[in-house]
Structure 1
Amino acid sequence: MRKFLLLVTGTLLYFCLSAQLIKVSPAFPDDDDVVTIVFDASLGNRGLFDYNGDVYVHTGVITSQSTVAGDWKYVPTSWNSNNAAHRLTSLGGNRYSFTINGIRNFYQVPAGEAIRKMAFVFRSYNPSGNVLEGKASDLSVDQGNIYWNVYPSGTHAVKIISPISEPRYQPHFFPPAVSPGDYIGFRAEASKSGLMQVKLNGTVIREEADSTGISVDATITMPGENVLIASSEANGLTIGDTLKFFVAAPVTVQPLPPGVREGINYEGSDAATLVLFAPGKTRVNVLGDFNNWTETTAYQMNRSPDGKYFWLKLTALDPGKEYAYQYLIDGSMKIGDPYCEKILDPVNDPFISSSTYPDLIAYPTGKTTGIVSVLQTDQAPYSWQVNQFQRPDKRSLIIYEVLVRDFIEKHDWKTLKDSIGYFKSLGVNALHLMPFNEFEGNLSWGYNPSYYFAPDKYYGTKNTLKAFIDECHKNGIAVIMDMVLNHSFGQSPMVQLYFDGSQNRPAPGNPWFNPVARHAFNVGYDMNHESIDTKRFFKNVCSFWLSEYRLDGFRFDLSKGFTQKKTCDDNGGNCDVNAWSAYDASRVAIWKSYYDTLQKKEPGCYVILEHLGVNNEEAELADYGMLLWGNMNYQFTEATKGQVTNSNFSGGLYNARNWQRPHLISYMESHDEERSMYRCETEGLSGSGYNIRDENTALRRNGMAATFLLAIPGPKLIWQFGELGYDYSINQCSNGTVNNNCRTDLKPIRWDYYSMANRITLRNVYKAMINLRTNPYYHNLFIGGTTSYDLSGGIKWLSVTTDTSALMAVGNFGLNSSNGTVTFPKPGVWFDLFSGELLSATGGAQSITLPAGSYRLFLNRNLNGTIPTAVNEVVNDNNLQVNVYPNPVGSASIIHYTVSETSAVGFRLMDLNGRVLQETRVGTKAPGQYRQKLNSVLPLSVQSGLYLLHMQSNGKRKVIKLMLP
């Protein structure tokens, strides 16, 4: 016997029995039957509605060898082929037929393998891609695939065929809207003739002898759960099918309780009031662990008098217990709570390890479908250690952009927290974390957001996230969240709540989303930022993260898309990019309003825009106080690979754009651009024995580019591992090939670069320049120094001055040794930051000769001993010797090391993710050889595996590998 949950509301309707997504004749087919399927394209997702071309069937079977719902077997044709044998016959009126001459024969299923179901998707044919699909209405359930049961020969079975249903893997009923006193049209069919009977709530309401079908108009007498049972008795065997459905009581209209807000409102340790914004909806019920996922009158939400909000107070909750729940909208649609702080995802959660997210509660399998929300009263609060963090001056930000997934193998906050020492040693004072609120899938970059208040569990728990932010603040590092509020995708409950399935887009009147995108380069569903509801949502989302997680600001993705100015056609295509990019007063007003909102909530928080728009609009936003991304990837990369004709990077200077404030975050690389080192090694030029594709040459030239970038006043952005010369393409695929379709694929994590001398040299350039920017003599230089420059040719130079400090960067980006003419801003002796070389400046034009790829950073004062440039730090220096015997190591292993000069000696144990696991200093040692038990230097309280042992002495290092068995 099968049981299905039927959800209904409202008044009397009858259903036409012919209105079915597919009709199958015979209705109870066995292996050898000739079967005719009639597909109605006007139903389901309507993906082929009014389509005029040929329609094909993509089909397979579920057999005794299938492991899950989507495990189709014996699929006879490939996807998107135009095989005539699988073309349907048009019957007119959006109806098509297809005949299968014997199920087992058609699918070529071996004898002895039981066939459980036939599986279908109906489709168009288009060799260039864009295939239209006819599926079930809910694409989130098994991708909308259609199924029909196959029965062993002679099976006695009963099937309820009305109210109308969709033949999903688990059939889904679409009930009529009824209230007490109304009728419901009901029909059931049987595979064998016998005594058929219908019961409503235990009472027989119709009976027919020797019948294979029975129909009845059942009178509904009570609200709440009703049960209809159809049965058939033949040859002493009774078989049946059960339909459970809910009849709603009238909705209670009652004002919102004082002080509640959208989402979950906790009230003490055992109660919570849920509030859902859903204007225009008729009724909402809460389903969850607290009512066994069954619709009942006790969990029907109250509606506010204005019809916009639904609310319900839950009581008698167990303190500290996690409860899963969903909203059931108008008896048919299930969504998660848009404001919940945790979700359960049946598709993606199984791939999250218990070490990343311990004790994750189980999804309520078999009780509901789709994403569910989680609430928990009496949660233990996180105890913050830093309560008054002083954010770095936004004009002095050195931002390091991180995609946690591709930065550390364990992709969790705890491991990233253990890596903060790496960021601090580099000198960065802010981290830009790519989106980490719940997004679709696990391996995404995060720009497909779904639940805006819930941290994505793929990166760990909410408290480990808070601990990471807290630790960053302890180390003087601000944390910036990449926030995506231009768009969402279909997993968003706000998209689902008002969705036009026939057009596969948000419905007109969706409070937050436009039916079609208004601007170019939109992905997902476009948000309407002139809507008062979207403005409120923006405020609520950002305020939540600022207060609950103490974030320091946001980088807003695709901020130029925050416009209702229509620059695309009525279908969201044929967009005029220039019109979209032109100055937009309405967009400026939106961003000024949002900026004011955030500053009122958290004064001094960072508002960073990925605007990339026309200069007069960006200048106005910058002057208002916002920071803006300045993408100089193309120009810097052209310079590093020797293509100097296209390499003028003066656009990275805010004053070159005639901005009044240094609010331009210029960068060479971000998550969205091809990696400079990769292009150097694959596209670099060569000449006169000079080859940029050589790794060491490419690294040196990237150091030259980094010197110029970091010499430019204003905030800067560094993409992860850029300081180590990361040289894998942005389009690297998981199999090692390069393809544009692999842009967001997992990328290799190369912490071993940190033990390579040539890459450490590049990192030291970054480190020296960042240290210079924080030096008290030069700090103001990088906030608002006066600049002079020539950044267009092969020999590039840049001078920056204040009343007391000055620098001059000079570099040869060409392929040959060249002379350049530069004018130092002041006469006198100048000092090269990197080499210590002295140069006497005349104060007038003078010639400097530089070999190809050579560069200098001259300062007007000698900072030797003032800032720790660490430029001369060496990995595997020959004057340092360290070994461990035996290795693989054990309790008896001895560390042997040699010191060539009196120095302070220290040891550090790191894993291959770059985490510092243990560190100790053994004190100042005179030149000589030393032996100590390894456990006395670094007690090895770590698991088995491969590690890196660093010996440090006078800025030099030696690195060896340790194996713990």
Structure 2
Amino acid sequence: MFKTTIKALLMLLIPVSVFSQVVTTNPAFPTDNQAVTIVFHAQEGDGGLADFTEDIWAHTGVITNESSSGSDWKYVIAEWSENTDKAKLTRINSNTYELNIEPSIRAFYGVPEGEEIQKMTFVFRNADGTKTGRATGGLDIFVDVYEAGLNVNIESPINGEIVALNQQIPIVAQTTDAEFTRFFINDELIGEYDAQGFTYDFTATNAGKTSFKVEAWSQGESAVDSAYIFVKGEVEIAELPTGMRDGVNYIDDHTVLLSLLAPGKEYAFAIGDFSNWEVNDEVFMKRTPDGERFWIQINNLQAGEPYIYQYYIDGELTVADVYSEQISDPWNDEYISEEIFPNLPQYPFGKTNGIASVFTTAQTPYEWQIENFEAPKKTDLVIYEVLIRDLSEEHSFQFLIDTLSYFKSLGVNTIELMPINEFEGNNSWGYNPSFYFAVDKYYGTKDKLKEFIDACHAQGIAVVIDMVLNHSYGQNPQVQMYWDGENSRPAADNPWFNTVSPNQSYHWGYDFNHESNYTKAFVDSVNSFWIEEFKVDGFRFDFTKGFTNKPGDGWAYDASRINILQRMAQEIWKVDEDAYVIFEHLADNSEEKVLSAYDILLWGNMNHKYKEANMGYNSSDKSDLSWASYQKRGWSKPHVVAYMESHDEERQMVFNNTWGNGYDWYQITNENIGLKRIEMSTLFHLMIPGPKMFWQFGELGYDYSINWPSGTSDDRLTPKPPKWEYQEQWRRKNIQLVTASLNKLKTNYDTWETENFELDVRGEIKTVTLLHEDMNAIAIGNFSVGYKTVEIVFPQGGQWYSFFNDEEDIVLNDQGVWQVLLAPGAYYLFTDKQISEPDLGTGVENNVGEEKSFKYYPNPSNGLLWVETTKSINNIEVYGSMGQRVFHKRIASSNKPVKLSINTKSWANGVYILKLQDNKGEIQTAKLVVK
């Protein structure tokens, strides 16, 4: 059975040679009103600061009874980047450091009397925080704070430690204020001792679980501590059952099979709620003959009950399942409301550390209303890029569902969601991904996401998701499983990641090795999952010029990268032949030309050129818009996804408001003039054939800087306020209406898909001419800040119809030349066939009029509109949906309310803006429908 030797001893501090702990303390049982010395053993834990030769600081705080969770640090000493002497460690030898917590724990951290200190927390780091020393698995370090009096602690073995068969290990226990102690193995009394502590040499001769218990007694009272080890036998070798995939496989309502891809690892356990978070024979995973995977079948589960679990690998690493479809996060879940994610499982604090995974059997499948959606043609795409976090204060999929009528009225036919798979933290753009199969809970449940996609499809709107497969971050289990702690980077044997990025100019997180077959298989599994499980219509892939192992900044032509990306696209099209594959590539045109010819869409950043055009700076081709054209780039297919703004670019109205040009009365820094310029640039944006993209609220002239509120890059990722109220400002509303009308033209008329078009968009006067057998069209805009007399050459003479204002229709001579004086910012769209103004709808329910100081009726109007005010006004105007003024009346100064009628019989059907101004200059607006 057991070979044993007993040694009793008095001890104050257990030396590190006895057992492996990343931190020890002196005294061994620190209390809140004592000074304590923290001893950091840098070679232990994750070894991130082993043999480090420079200074080390502690990032440290406490867990108290006021902490909201086991990870809610309180009274933190200094910010992460602050190197305060108070938290600087003293080097004792190459891997041993000390930090004196004095005059007491309570005083050091500044914890008020009456608040119970439960633990001290630590992460050790170098000066700039690029290297850290943590517990095994990269976890925070926790040190218990005890109450004065009788205490007992089993210092060794670590609870749940895995030991080899016939391995000898020391059992080390210590107590305070004990008269005697009792020691038990598997509930059998082994010995009773008078001393304050003892060691016991134990030889593990039997495989399986062995339990230890120590009782400390004093004056009839006792304190108890327990621990267990698992004596590992041989790993069972067995093939993975046919049809099983990596991650969770649901066998029936009471059974799952877990499969872990971990090449080169020796053994693994699946631990979780189903094992009471202990290792035992029932969760000791089998290994496949090729050594690639571990798997285990978990039986007798309760149907419909969520189970939290992790993998415990080689006795030193605990990680979540990278393939899990839900995670349990000890740091961020507490900030997710019940409304956003009902019945969120509670993290098992005290049983494990770090992120865990969740599975639930007997889930009710989502019932899709639209099974076979026909997505819009690539050439018709009008994409609306959305950051759910900043679209509304509730940051939810439900809000998106409730807002679909707005997107529909805007003429959007594709919504592109910035990353919605799990990323680190809650408050993020999402480009720091960690789990690729799990929906980020901060936005809602996976079924709510499915409901949104289903509702989009019902409205004829496609859904594209932003996928970040260039890099990942430290919470990704694939990073953690193969980690070089000494150098704080992925290890050389990591199957998925490069040790360092080959691109030293542009890199984030940890760089995927896209030449690895493991990475290729993972990428394919991610992409197919979102198409098959969520019916997404495609992907926008972030920073695809990083999909290479070729050193450099990624700009130059790279044949290996082309092969990697074409292979990935081809695998996507095997799952869905019509899926959109969109790259944020931004590399040399010679490479983008090849990718475009392969039916890949590529982002075309026109922010700078439109910025110059909007601000009125047109010299030296500053505002040349021609690069938005696939033909200008020499591409064979219209695959440029051009955009004026994206999540990554400054907003156009910020440029106008801050640096806009001007002459005399015409100053682009004037808000109304600046907003009118956005209408003009939107016309040209949508006239150039090919798919187009808008950034959220761009159609309302959003004017909060990307660096708001500080104006510096420190706030680049800071949440920005949603400004739905901008719809109530008539000038901003005009941009929205112009955008909507042009989107309807683009998606309903073949003219906007023509391959025969002409661009003259380099200078102050810009034109785009579309030539098609059905209809010709020409856009004209004066991007200067002064009046310009010009001659515009149309495709032919004769009748031309003004789209924005039928009062501006023209008849040209046979030469098709139009001589005109263009005001600054003036723009026109003419067609040689008359087309009706599109029915734009109202987007969202509008109760305007009920809280105004005037009323108007009937609405809709069919010939005569009455306007009654409750106070005096001096000006009434009505604007059409394209921004043209169709009615204007000045009223003599008076202190009396006004009642007047407006004849609307000659007006085209559609939406109009009614604008009233009082004697104080205050303006009120309302929406009017004419039928």
The TM-score normalised by the length of structure 2 is 0.85
Q: Determine if the alignment matches structure 1 residue 372 to structure 2 residue 356.
A: yes
Structure 1: distance between partners of 2:494 and 2:292: 13
CA contact (8 A) 2:170 2:201 kept: yes
**Once superposed, what is the RMSD of the aligned Cα atoms?**
3.4
The TM-score normalised by the length of structure 1 is 0.82
Q: Deviation string for 1:452-507 (max 9, x for gaps)?
A: 11222222222222222122112111111111111111121222222223322222
- TM-fit CA distance, 1:356: 1.9
Give 3-state SS (helix, strand or coil) of 2:563's partner. Answer: helix
Structure 2: distance between partners of 1:680 and 1:590: 41
Written as runs of structure 1 = structure 2, the 5 A alignment for 1:525-564 is 525-564=510-549
Count of paired positions? 856
Task: Report the equivalent of 1:819.
Answer: 789
Change (3 A) 1:438 1:715: same
Q: Determine if the alignment matches structure 1 residue 838 to structure 2 residue 822.
A: no
Q: Determine if the alignment matches structure 1 residue 745 to structure 2 residue 718.
A: yes
Structure 2: distance between partners of 1:134 and 1:598: 41
Q: Which amino acid aligns with 1:801?
A: L
CA contact (8 A) 2:71 2:330 kept: no
Structure 1: distance between partners of 2:242 and 2:79: 59
Change (3 A) 1:130 1:97: closer
Written as runs of structure 1 = structure 2, the 5 A alignment for 1:24-423 is 24-29=25-30, 35-56=36-57, 87-99=88-100, 102-103=103-104, 107=108, 113=114, 116=117, 119=120, 121=122, 126=127, 129-130=128-129, 133-140=132-139, 144-147=140-143, 149=145, 151-152=147-148, 155-163=149-157, 175=161, 177-179=163-165, 181-192=166-177, 194-209=179-194, 211-234=195-218, 237-423=221-407
Change (3 A) 1:71 1:584: closer
Give 3-state SS (helix, strand or coil) of 1:242's partner. Answer: strand
Give 3-state SS (helix, strand or coil) of 1:452's partner. Answer: coil
Task: Report the equivalent of 2:12.
Answer: none
- TM-fit CA distance, 1:528: 1.1
Task: Report the equivalent of 1:730.
Answer: 706
Give 3-state SS (helix, strand or coil) of 2:277's partner. Answer: coil
Structure 2: distance between partners of 1:383 and 1:296: 39
Structure 1: distance between partners of 2:313 and 2:648: 39
2:599 pairs with 604, 618, 625, which one?
625
Give 3-state SS (helix, strand or coil) of 1:782's partner. Answer: helix
Task: Report the equivalent of 1:917.
Answer: none
Q: Deviation string for 1:313-370 (max 9, x for gaps)?
A: 2333333333332222223322222222222223222222222222333333433333
Structure 1: distance between partners of 2:125 and 2:463: 48
Q: Which amino acid aligns with 1:688?
A: D
CA contact (8 A) 1:206 1:216 kept: no
Structure 2: distance between partners of 1:702 and 1:138: 51
1:799 pairs with 765, 769, 783, which one?
769
Structure 2: distance between partners of 1:79 and 1:325: 30
Change (3 A) 1:421 1:240: closer
CA contact (8 A) 2:601 2:640 kept: yes
Change (3 A) 1:100 1:309: closer
1:688 pairs with 664, 669, 676, which one?
664
Change (3 A) 1:705 1:260: same
Task: Report the equivalent of 2:834.
Answer: 862
Give 3-state SS (helix, strand or coil) of 1:437's partner. Answer: coil
- TM-fit CA distance, 1:607: 0.5
Change (3 A) 1:287 1:429: same
Per mean C-alpha deviation after superposition, the further-off stretch among 345-354 and 469-478 is 345-354
CA contact (8 A) 2:783 2:824 kept: yes
Q: Which amino acid aligns with 1:619?
A: K
Task: Report the equivalent of 1:635.
Answer: 609
Per mean C-alpha deviation after superposition, the further-off stretch among 58-67 and 510-519 is 58-67
* Percent identical: 39
Change (3 A) 1:98 1:324: closer
Q: Which amino acid aligns with 1:838?
A: D
Per mean C-alpha deviation after superposition, the further-off stretch among 324-333 and 440-449 is 324-333
Give 3-state SS (helix, strand or coil) of 1:510's partner. Answer: coil
Change (3 A) 1:29 1:431: closer
Give 3-state SS (helix, strand or coil) of 1:849's partner. Answer: strand
Structure 2: distance between partners of 1:348 and 1:476: 35
Written as runs of structure 1 = structure 2, the 5 A alignment for 1:558-957 is 558-567=543-552, 577=553, 580-645=554-619, 646-733=622-709, 737-776=710-749, 779=750, 781-836=751-806, 837-839=808-810, 840=812, 842-843=814-815, 847-863=819-835, 865=836, 867-868=837-838, 882-883=849-850, 897-898=857-858, 902=862, 954-956=910-912
Structure 2: distance between partners of 1:56 and 1:369: 23
Q: Deviation string for 1:808-837 (max 9, x for gaps)?
A: 222111111123454323233322221232
Change (3 A) 1:410 1:32: closer
Q: Which amino acid aligns with 2:537?
A: D
Per mean C-alpha deviation after superposition, the further-off stretch among 422-431 and 30-39 is 30-39
Q: Deviation string for 1:617-640 (max 9, x for gaps)?
A: 000000011110000011101210
- Structure 1 residues without counterparts, runs of 5 or longer: 1-13, 166-172, 568-576, 888-893, 906-951
- Structure 2 residues without counterparts, runs of 5 or longer: 1-14, 866-907, 915-924
Task: Report the equivalent of 2:900.
Answer: none
Change (3 A) 1:899 1:789: closer
Structure 2: distance between partners of 1:545 and 1:73: 39
CA contact (8 A) 1:25 1:37 kept: yes
Change (3 A) 1:35 1:803: closer
CA contact (8 A) 2:586 2:604 kept: yes
Give 3-state SS (helix, strand or coil) of 1:463's partner. Answer: helix
Change (3 A) 1:71 1:113: farther
Per mean C-alpha deviation after superposition, the further-off stretch among 640-649 and 106-115 is 106-115
Change (3 A) 1:728 1:79: closer
Change (3 A) 1:677 1:305: same
Change (3 A) 1:732 1:120: same
Q: Which amino acid aligns with 1:783?
A: E
Change (3 A) 1:262 1:235: same
- TM-fit CA distance, 1:410: 2.8
CA contact (8 A) 1:629 1:666 kept: yes
Q: Deviation string for 1:395-439 (max 9, x for gaps)?
A: 211111111222233322233122211111111211111111122
- TM-fit CA distance, 1:641: 1.3
Q: Deviation string for 1:710-741 (max 9, x for gaps)?
A: 000011001111111111111224xxx43312
- TM-fit CA distance, 1:116: 4.1
Q: Deviation string for 1:867-926 (max 9, x for gaps)?
A: 41769x99999xx994479x9xxxxxx998446952599xxxxxxxxxxxxxxxxxxxxx
Per mean C-alpha deviation after superposition, the further-off stretch among 821-830 and 412-421 is 821-830
Structure 2: distance between partners of 1:427 and 1:111: 58
Structure 1: distance between partners of 2:725 and 2:392: 12
Change (3 A) 1:540 1:822: same
CA contact (8 A) 1:63 1:113 kept: no
Change (3 A) 1:161 1:358: closer
1:506 pairs with 468, 490, 495, which one?
490
